[in-house]
Each structure stands twice: as structure tokens, then as C-alpha cells.
């Protein structure tokens, strides 16, 4: 017993109780089928028609009775579910109507700026109602706010004419700085809305539409982003650490200065994305595509870039060196892994690439001027027409490496 307590091993009764709670339906259905099978088998074992007739007279009413009880129970469950849905629908209608009534009074009083009391009250009301409503009414709230110009949204002509005004956060948006951590916001419509500095940590944002939205400095760590649309969105200095990003839509997105520590982009397709000065340490980019994206000055130390496509990407001044934190633990995976990646035509000028793994990578026509290539593994890499002017090349591994002039370098093929 002391052994069980010491190592917190559950007792047999606890295990059986957990199994019953988890598999109760499966156990009951299996037991029912077994009983029916036994009855059928026993019926065919009877050796006379009289005995079979007696068995039918007992079994048939029993089966009809059990079936009737089961059907009645299922019908009652359906009735209860419908009643619960009706109550929920009515409750949502009441909450939505109450919200609209309160907002109407606030609008009549006026919202002069984001610092007055009416703005704060309206923002709190909106945050609470978005947490309580289902996706259909959440979007009704968003359209309602949009009709009142309370989401910061402006048309293209206004955006161009008043870009300086917007940059100074002069447009009023109730979504700015709103706290919606862990909220269920699936299929939320926020096209072109201003939700900068909002707290969305842990929120469910599957299939939400944030295209062309302003999400500067928004907190998105740990969110679910399956099929979320960020087309043309501004996520400058946003926090997306430890977030799965591979199923979201990323095109012409601004992630300048964003924090993407250990973000997962595996298999993602991103085009014309701006990662300038972004923090991407230990992020997973395996098999991802970043065509014509900008990684200027980005920190990619310890990132997994295995089989990544970075065609015509700009990595000038980027840091792709080994992660010092991981190296202290002698973790060989600390080296930035660019095995088999496509960096053809990429700009790696002044990039920090020490200890990076470029085995089998395509670096043809890449710009590696003044890049730090200390202890880089270039075995099987293609460097045809690459620019290595001023690059720091020390202790580099070559084997079946195609050099800039087209020659093959096999000086380290004997190494294992």
C-alpha cells in the first residue's frame, strides 16, 4: 500500500471506475449484443417446436418491452435537448437585446474618445456578450459595431488619406485592447477591424476572418488557428509564441518584430510575409514555403528549417546560428536545420549562419556576402552562382558540394 501511495499508482477500483465512466456506453452496448446473441443461440439449441414456441412467447414480449423503454428514453432525451436548445436560444436573444439596449443609451450619450467612461463601459459590455453568444450572434455584434464605426474600420480611400491618423491610434475601436483570453470566437468576422493590443491568448479562432485587420501587439500565444484567415493583416509586434500556425492563411501579412518563439509552421505556405526583426527562435518551419518573404534581421537561432522553401526570400542580417541555450545542454538539434531547403536566389547578406546545417540545400544564386559561415555543413549543397564575397568561411564541411563556379568539392567526404 505504501508503494502505491508513494508513486501515486491508482488502485484497481479507481481504474475500474475510470473505465466505466469513459467506456460506459460501449460496455452497455456490448453487453446487450452479447445477451441477444446468447438468446438466439439458446433458441436454436431447443430440440422441439413446442419449446421454441414457449421461448418465443417469453422472449418476444421481453424484447418489445426493452425496446419500448429504450425508444421512450431516447425520445425523452431528444425532447430535453430541444428544450435546452430553446432555453439557450431564448437566453441568447435576451442577452443580445439587453446589450443592444444598453449600447443604444451609450451611443446617445456619445463616445468622444477611447479614454472616456462610455468607451470603457461599451468595451466591457461587448467583451462579456462576445463570451456568452454563439458564432452567429457574435457576428451580429460585430456588424452592429461596424455600422456604428466602433471597430476602427475605414474604406481604402480613407485609409490612404488618413494613414498618419491611424498610426497614432486616433480611430475608435472597442476591440482595441479587449480582453478575450480563452474565448470561443470560431468563425468570427473581423475583416479590416482594429483589434490591436487585444488579449486573445488561448482563444479558439478556427475559421475566423482577420483579413486586412490591424492586430498590432495582439496576444495570440497558444491559440487554435485552423483555417484562420490573416490575408493582408498587420500583426506587427504580436505575440504568437507556442502557436500552431500551419493551417492558417498567410499572404502579405506583416509580422515585423513579432514574437514567434517555438511557433509551428510545419508544412505551411506563406507568401510575401514580412518577418523583419521577428523573434523566431526554435520555431518549426519544416517543409514550409516562404516564397519572397522578408526575414531581414530576424532571429532564427535554433529553428528547424529542414526541407523549407525560401525561394527569393530576404534573410539579410538574419540570425540562423545555433541556439546557445540549447548548446549548453549538448543538444545536437540546437543547430539550425536547413537540410534540403530551397534558398535559391535568397538574400543572406550579413546573415549569421554559424553551425547551420545546409546538407542538400539549394543555395544557387543566393547572396551570401559577408555572411558568417563558421562551421557550416554544406555537404551536398548547391552553391552555383552564389555570391560569397566577404563571407566568413571557417571549418566548413564539403562533400559533393557544387561550388559557385560549378566545380565539385569533396574535401570532407571521408568524414562520418
Question: Which of 25-39, 127-141, 352-366 has the least mean pLDDT?
Answer: 25-39
**Per-residue model confidence (pLDDT) at position 357:** 86
**Per-residue model confidence (pLDDT) at position 331:** 30
Question: Which of 56-65, 102-111, 268-277, 286-295 has the least mean pLDDT?
Answer: 56-65
State the average pLDDT over residues 173-199.
93
**Per-residue model confidence (pLDDT) at position 291:** 84
User: How far apart, in whole angstroms, are the C-alpha atoms of residue 126 and residue 105?
Assistant: 14
Residue 147 neighbours by CB under 8 Å, 6+ apart? none
Q: Which tops the pLDDT comparison, 210 or 319?
A: 210
Residue 303 neighbours by CB under 8 Å, 6+ apart? 280, 281, 282, 283, 284, 285, 320, 336, 337
Burial of 229 (0-12, 13-18, 19+ CB in 10 A): buried
Tell me the residue length of the chain.
416
Q: Residue 31's Cα: distance from chain center in Å?
A: 42
Residue 178 pLDDT > 60: yes
Residue 233 pLDDT > 90: yes
First-last CA distance in the chain? 53
State the average pLDDT over residues 290-319.
84
Question: Which of 233-237, 311-315, 412-416 has the least mean pLDDT?
Answer: 412-416
State the average pLDDT over residues 61-67.
69
- Grouping H, G, I as helix, E, B as strand and the rest as coil, residue 184 is strand
Q: Which tops the pLDDT comparison, 270 or 253?
A: 253
User: How far apart, in whole angstroms, are the C-alpha atoms of residue 76 and residue 176?
Assistant: 46
- Grouping H, G, I as helix, E, B as strand and the rest as coil, residue 170 is coil
Q: Which tops the pLDDT comparison, 393 or 27?
A: 393
**Per-residue model confidence (pLDDT) at position 62:** 67
Give residue 179's pLDDT band: very low, low, confident or very high (50, 70, 90): very high
Residue 333 pLDDT > 50: no
Please report how many Cα atoms fall inside a 13 Å half-sphere around the Cα of residue 220, on the Cβ side.
30
**Per-residue model confidence (pLDDT) at position 59:** 65
**Per-residue model confidence (pLDDT) at position 189:** 93
Pairing of strands 289-291, 250-251: unpaired
**Per-residue model confidence (pLDDT) at position 25:** 72
- Grouping H, G, I as helix, E, B as strand and the rest as coil, residue 340 is coil
**Per-residue model confidence (pLDDT) at position 76:** 78
Give residue 224's pLDDT band: very low, low, confident or very high (50, 70, 90): confident
**Per-residue model confidence (pLDDT) at position 19:** 74
**Per-residue model confidence (pLDDT) at position 166:** 41
State the average pLDDT over residues 221-227.
85
Burial of 29 (0-12, 13-18, 19+ CB in 10 A): exposed
Q: Which tops the pLDDT comparison, 195 or 54?
A: 195
Give residue 156's pLDDT band: very low, low, confident or very high (50, 70, 90): very low
Cα–Cα nearest to 100, from 133, 68, 72, 71:
133
Q: Residue 373's Cα: distance from chain center in Å?
A: 33
Per DSSP, 352 falls in state B
Residue 318 near residue 295 (C-beta atoms within 8 A)? yes
User: How far apart, in whole angstroms, are the C-alpha atoms of residue 45 and residue 342?
Assistant: 72
Q: Tell me the backbone φ, ψ of residue 229, rounded to 5 degrees.
A: -100, 115
pTM of the predicted model over 0.85? no
User: How far apart, in whole angstroms, are the C-alpha atoms of residue 207 and residue 189?
Assistant: 9
Question: Which of 174-178, 250-254, 302-306, 392-396 has the least mean pLDDT?
Answer: 302-306
State the average pLDDT over residues 92-99.
90
Give residue 309's pLDDT band: very low, low, confident or very high (50, 70, 90): confident
**Per-residue model confidence (pLDDT) at position 159:** 43
Cell numbers at residue 223, please? Answer: 491559440
Question: Which of 14-18, 114-118, 342-346 has the least mean pLDDT?
Answer: 14-18
- Give the tens place of pLDDT for each residue, 8-20: 555 677 777 777 7
The string of DSSP codes covering 98-149 is: HHHHHHHHHHHH---STTSHHHHHHHHHHHHHHHHS-HHHHHHHHHHHHHTT
Q: Tell me the backbone φ, ψ of residue 239, rounded to 5 degrees.
A: -110, 110
Q: What is the mean pLDDT of the chain?
A: 81
Give residue 229's pLDDT band: very low, low, confident or very high (50, 70, 90): very high
Give residue 57's pLDDT band: very low, low, confident or very high (50, 70, 90): low
Only one residue has cell 470560431, namely 186
Pairing of strands 401-402, 408-409: antiparallel
Cell numbers at residue 398, please? Answer: 564539403
Cα–Cα nearest to 202, from 185, 187, 177, 178:
185
State the average pLDDT over residues 173-187.
92
**Per-residue model confidence (pLDDT) at position 24:** 72
Cα–Cα nearest to 234, from 249, 251, 215, 210:
215
Give residue 416's pLDDT band: very low, low, confident or very high (50, 70, 90): low
Q: Which tops the pLDDT comparison, 90 or 384?
A: 384
Q: Give me Rg for the CA atoms of the chain.
A: 31
**Per-residue model confidence (pLDDT) at position 248:** 85
Amino acid at each position: 500500500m505504501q508503494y502505491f501511495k508513494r508513486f501515486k499508482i491508482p488502485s484497481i477500483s479507481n481504474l475500474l471506475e475510470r473505465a466505466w465512466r469513459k467506456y460506459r456506453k460501449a460496455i452497455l452496448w456490448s453487453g446487450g449484443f452479447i445477451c441477444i446473441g446468447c438468446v438466439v443461440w439458446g433458441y436454436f439449441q431447443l430440440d422441439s417446436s413446442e419449446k421454441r414456441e414457449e421461448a418465443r412467447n417469453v422472449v418476444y414480449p421481453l424484447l418489445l418491452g426493452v425496446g419500448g423503454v429504450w425508444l421512450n428514453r431516447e425520445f425523452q432525451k431528444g425532447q430535453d435537448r430541444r428544450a435546452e436548445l430553446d432555453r439557450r436560444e431564448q437566453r441568447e436573444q435576451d442577452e443580445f437585446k439587453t446589450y443592444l439596449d444598453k449600447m443604444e443609451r451609450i451611443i446617445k450619450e456619445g463616445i468622444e474618445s477611447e479614454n472616456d467612461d462610455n468607451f470603457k463601459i461599451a468595451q466591457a459590455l461587448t467583451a462579456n456578450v462576445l463570451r456568452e453568444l454563439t458564432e452567429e450572434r457574435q457576428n451580429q455584434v460585430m456588424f452592429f459595431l461596424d455600422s456604428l464605426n466602433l471597430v476602427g474600420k475605414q474604406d481604402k480611400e480613407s485609409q490612404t488619406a488618413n494613414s498618419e491618423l491611424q498610426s497614432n491610434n486616433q480611430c475608435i475601436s472597442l476591440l482595441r485592447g479587449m480582453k478575450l483570453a480563452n474565448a470561443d470566437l470560431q468563425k468570427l468576422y473581423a475583416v479590416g477591424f482594429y483589434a490591436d493590443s487585444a488579449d486573445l491568448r488561448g482563444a479558439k479562432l478556427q475559421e475566423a476572418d482577420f483579413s486586412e485587420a490591424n492586430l498590432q501587439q495582439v496576444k495570440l500565444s497558444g491559440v487554435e488557428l485552423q483555417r484562420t484567415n490573416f490575408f493582408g493583416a498587420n500583426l506587427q509586434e504580436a505575440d504568437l509564441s507556442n502557436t500552431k500556425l500551419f493551417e492558417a492563411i498567410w499572404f502579405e501579412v506583416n509580422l515585423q518584430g513579432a514574437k514567434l518563439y517555438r511557433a509551428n509552421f510545419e508544412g505551411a505556405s506563406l507568401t510575401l510575409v514580412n518577418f523583419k526583426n521577428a523573434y523566431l527562435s526554435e520555431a518549426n518551419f519544416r517543409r514550409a514555403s516562404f516564397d519572397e518573404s522578408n526575414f531581414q534581421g530576424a532571429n532564427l537561432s535554433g529553428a528547424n528549417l529542414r526541407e523549407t522553401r525560401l525561394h527569393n526570400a530576404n534573410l539579410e542580417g538574419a540570425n540562423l546560428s545555433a541556439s546557445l541555450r540549447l548548446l549548453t545542454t549538448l543538444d545536437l538539434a540546437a543547430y539550425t536545420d536547413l537540410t534540403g531547403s530551397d534558398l535559391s536566389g535568397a538574400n543572406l547578406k550579413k546573415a549569421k549562419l554559424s553551425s547551420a546545417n545546409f546538407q542538400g540545400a539549394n543555395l544557387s544564386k543566393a547572396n551570401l556576402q559577408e555572411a558568417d559561415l563558421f562551421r557550416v555543413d554544406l555537404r551536398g549543397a548547391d552553391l552555383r552562382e552564389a555570391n560569397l564575397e566577404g563571407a566568413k568561411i571557417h571549418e566548413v564541411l564539403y562533400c559533393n558540394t557544387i561550388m559557385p563556379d560549378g566545380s565539385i568539392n569533396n574535401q570532407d567526404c571521408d568524414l562520418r
